Amino acid sequence: MDTPSFPPQQQHPPGSTAAMVPVPDHGEESYRGSGRLGGIRALVTGGDSGIGRAVAIAFAREGADVAISYLPEEAEDAEDTATRVREEGRRVVLLPGDITDRDTAQSLPQRVVDELGSLDVLVNNAGFQMARGDGIESITPDRLDRVLRTNLYALFWITQAAVPLMKRGSSIVNCTSIQAYDPSPTLLDYAATKAAINNVTANLATMLGPKGIRVNAVAPGPIWTPLQPATQPVEKVESFGKDTPLGRAGQPAEVAPAFVFLASPADASYVTGSVLGVTGGKPVF
| Rounded-to-integer distance, Cα 133 and Cα 139, Å | 8
pLDDT at position 18, please? 87
Q: Torsions phi, psi of 278, nearest 5? A: -130, 80
Which one is catalytic: 153, 181, 190, 270?
190
Question: What CATH number was assigned to the domain covering residues 41-278?
Answer: 3.40.50.720
DSSP 275: E
Q: Global pTM? A: 0.94
Per-residue pLDDT of the chain (285 residues; tens, 9 = 90+): 555 678 889 898 888 898 899 999 999 999 999 999 999 999 999 999 999 999 999 999 999 999 999 999 999 999 999 999 999 999 999 999 999 999 999 999 999 999 999 999 999 999 998 886 777 988 999 999 999 999 999 999 999 999 999 999 999 999 999 999 999 988 999 999 999 999 999 999 999 999 999 999 999 999 999 888 888 888 788 889 999 999 999 999 999 999 999 999 999 999 999 999 999 999 998
Ramachandran bin of 135, using left for φ above 0, alpha for ψ from -120 to 50, beta for the remaining angles: left
| Rounded-to-integer distance, Cα 182 and Cα 164, Å | 35
The domains of the chain are located at 41-278
| Rounded-to-integer distance, Cα 33 and Cα 14, Å | 30
CA 180, distance to chain mean position in Å, is 15
pLDDT at position 2, please? 56
pLDDT at position 149, please? 98
For the chain, report the end-to-end CA distance as a whole number of angstroms.
26
Q: Which residues, at least 6 apart from 276, have a Cβ–Cβ distance to it below 8 Å?
A: 216, 217, 218, 219, 258, 261, 262
pLDDT at position 235, please? 79
190 is catalytic: yes
How distant, in Å, are the alpha carbons of 33, 57, 112, 206 from that of 61?
5, 6, 19, 31
pLDDT at position 239, please? 86
Q: Which residues, at least 6 apart from 126, have a Cβ–Cβ distance to it below 8 Å?
A: 45, 46, 52, 69, 70, 99, 150, 151, 154
pLDDT at position 3, please? 55
